[in-house]
Amino acid sequence: MSLTSILKEKKSDILRIWFDAVLLSYPQDTANFLIKEKDRFANPVGFTYQHNMEIIFDSLVGTTDRDTVLPAIDNIVKIRNVQNFAPSQAVAIFFLLKQVIRQYTNEHIANGYRDDELLALDAKIDNLALAAFDCYSSLRELMGDIRIREAQRRIQKLMDRTNIFNDISDQEGDATNERT
């Protein structure tokens, strides 16, 4: 049996173990809540994890395209980016998949699969983690931009009124006239 077939067949088991592993990064009370509360609006973090982890997992067995999997990674990293995690902890949950899959297949699958399959899977997981790192970096940049724009909005109309910033668009007509 190929590794891909195993992953497809045991998807729900592996996803459950992966989610349990992710929950270890939260305090016990929080983990209980994240797993028990099923309403997606009452428990947006738990829902976002489970919904998007499935999409990400599907990408490993080749049924998800890149345009679908990248937003799924982004949705999860967005949460971990603002929670109390170091950058490494924020993206580490993707590497967890390697441990989870090895552990599961060692315990439950009698017939081995080929090593090259495992290597290929590892490479896919590494790519997911690298994409997560990109997401994390761009989100940090976004937060910097958000802080600047928020500060501007707070006094936007005061600036407009006092004409503090006389930007290029205000002078475009003049500049054009000068050239012509």
Partner 1 sequence: MADDKKKPEELANISYRLPEKSWMDTPVDFRKGTYNYGAVAEKAKYLGLPHARKWQPMDADWQLPENWKEIILEGMRERLDKFRSFRIFMDICVRCGACADKCHYFIGSGDPKNMPVLRAELLRSVYRKDFTAAGKIMGKIAGARELTVDVLKEWFYYFFQCTECRRCSVFCPYGIDTAEITMMARELLNLVGLNIDWIVTPAANCFRTGNHLGIQPHGFKDSIEFAVDELAELTGAKVEAPINKKGAEILFVAPSADYFASPHYYTLLGYLLLFHEIGLDYTWSSFASEGGNFGLFHSNQVMKRLNAKIYMEAKRLGVKWVLGGECGHMWRVLHQYMDTMNGPADFLEVPKSPITGTVFEHAKSTKMIHIMEFTSDLIKNNKLKLDPSRNDHWNVTFHDSCNPARAMGLLEEPRYVIKACCNNFHEMPENTIREQTFCCGSGSGLGTDENLEMRLRGGFPRANAVKYNHDVYGTNLLLCICAIDKATLPPLMEYWVPEVDVGGIHEMVGNALVLKGETRRATDLRGTPYPEPEPAQSEGKEVAKDV
Let me know: does 128 contact 94? Beta carbons within 8 Å: yes
In the bound state with partner 1, the residue whose beta carbon lies nearer, of 115 and 141, is: 141
Interface size with partner 1, residues (CB under 8 A) = 49
> Does the footprint of partner 1 cover residue 67 (CB under 8 A)?
no
User: What's the angle, vertex CA 53, arms to CA 138 and CA 55, rounded to 5?
Assistant: 90
Using CB under 8 A, which of 38, 102, 108, 154 touches partner 1? 154
In the bound state with partner 1, the residue whose beta carbon lies nearer, of 31 and 61, is: 31
Q: Which two tokens stand for residue 140?
A: 């940090």
Let me know: does 14 contact 7? Beta carbons within 8 Å: yes
Using CB under 8 A, which of 88, 137, 138, 171 touches partner 1? 88
Minimum distance between the CB of residue 24 and partner 1, rounded to whole angstroms?
Answer: 4
> Does the footprint of partner 1 cover residue 27 (CB under 8 A)?
yes
Site string for partner 1, 100-129 (x = CB under 8 A): ------------------------------
Give the chain's end-to-end CA distance (angstroms, integer). 75
DSSP 11-57: HHHHHHHHHHHHHTTS-HHHHHHHHH---TTT-HHHHHHHHHHHHHH
> Does the footprint of partner 1 cover residue 15 (CB under 8 A)?
no
Question: Between the CA of residue 10 and those of 16, 76, 115, what are the distances in Å?
Answer: 10, 23, 19
In the bound state with partner 1, the residue whose beta carbon lies nearer, of 2 and 137, is: 137
Question: Between the CA of residue 173 and those of 94, 178, 180, what are the distances in Å?
Answer: 53, 9, 11
> Does the footprint of partner 1 cover residue 26 (CB under 8 A)?
yes
Point out which residues bind partner 1 (CB under 8 A).
21-22, 24-30, 33-34, 37, 39-45, 48, 78-79, 82-89, 92, 96, 139, 142-143, 145-147, 149-151, 153-158, 160-161
